[in-house]
A = this chain, B = another copy of it.
Amino acid sequence: MQGITRLGAAVMAAASAVGKKEREGPIGEAFDIADKEDRFEQETWEKAESEMQRRCFCRLLEKAGKEAREVDMLLAGDLLNQCIGSSYGLLSYDIPYMGLYGACSTAAEGLFLGAALIGHGATQTVGVVTSSHYCAAERQYRLPVEYGGQRPPTAQWTVTGAGAFLLGNAEMSTDTKTDTPPKPRAVLTRGLPGIVTEMGVRDANNMGAAMAPAAASTLLRFFRESGESPAAYDLIVTGDLGYEGGAILSDLLASEGVHLPSAIYNDCGMMIYTREKDDAHAGGSGCGCSAVVLASYLLPRVVSGKIKRMLFVGTGAMMSPDSVKQGQAIPAVAHLVEICHRA
């Protein structure tokens, strides 16, 4: 079975685009782009999601000082059926494109694959892009927002957001002679792909409970194999377990003898909204959730050295509305990427 994989790519730049609710949230000022109507001047929510991705990737290139032709490959995906958020969103860029489907773990999956390909010399520069849109996701997975359905306390709020990362060779970028652009200080060092777990959760309004066992599985495998403990990290952050899933994760780890201190653990779904004020219930979710929080809030802290070492654990629920209707429980997966500050 796959053990920990050596990665070895630097984050050359990261960018984010969000909607109104995310801009108004507690870390809202960190995001690069926000559209106050969530429409990005498009006529449908699906087209809005694509346009959000397009603008986000455009901003990424600006921030990195790169042109599209300098990017070797895109790894991208989203929650929409057939991942149209990405295939249409990135269509205007003539860059080789490989589509991913990791549900809300897509950012972590893309970072793992991109950094593994770069770190082992298969390619040089990879763009990782993902997104989700509240209105597009609600009508696809549950009900159109116009219906005004009630959301139970365990429900999460799909983030309207797109995150994009430009990965490059970590070794190359230590070359001080080519230090004119800001030297990449955030490096993806190790990774561990997740095993899909399914623990019998059938409630499509409780993704946190479905995904927590996957996060526990991946973290336990990582600690066991690496010999590391949570205390070795400044931050262990999950993608979108939310308050419900985050609490379950801590319990599951404790039952295996691993204490996850609350000062070290956080979840992107807990960080992006103010729980009471934003009506977000159990927190944020969606491919865009972990992507925008990592891109615009966490990575700058790794770059500045405030966070020296972190584990980023993207979590995804791999069901569809059809599989839920057919009575199947919800499988989930969690991919881990270790991100370190480089002095």
Contact = CB atoms under 8 A, between A and B. Distances in A.
A228 interface: no
A87 interface: yes
A46 B1 contact: no
Contacts of A102: 98-99
Contacts of A320: 80-82, 84
Contact of A91 (B113, B120, B121, B331): B331
Contact of A100 (B84, B94, B100, B318): B100
A328 to B, nearest CB: 7
A195 interface: yes
Interface stretch (A67-75, A143-151, A270-278): A67-75
Interface string A258-301: 00000000000000000000000000000000000000000000
Contacts of A79: 82
A320 B73 CA distance: 23
Contacts of A81: 81-82, 320-322
B194 A333 contact: no
By DSSP majority rule, is chain A's interface helix, strand, loop, or mixed? mixed
A35 B5 CA distance: 39
Complex copy number for this chain: 2
A326 interface: yes
Contacts of A333: 87, 97, 99
A77 B99 CA distance: 10
A96 interface: yes
Interface residues of A, number: 61
Contacts of A71: 1
A2 interface: yes
Given A100-B100, A101-B83, A102-B99, A2 B73 contact: yes
A88 B331 contact: yes
Contacts of A194: 96-97
A82 B87 CA distance: 15
A83 B318 contact: yes
Nearest to A46: B322
A147 to B, nearest CB: 18
A47 B100 CA distance: 22
9 contacts: A1-B71, A5-B122, A79-B82, A80-B322, A88-B328, A91-B196, A97-B196, A98-B102, A117-B122
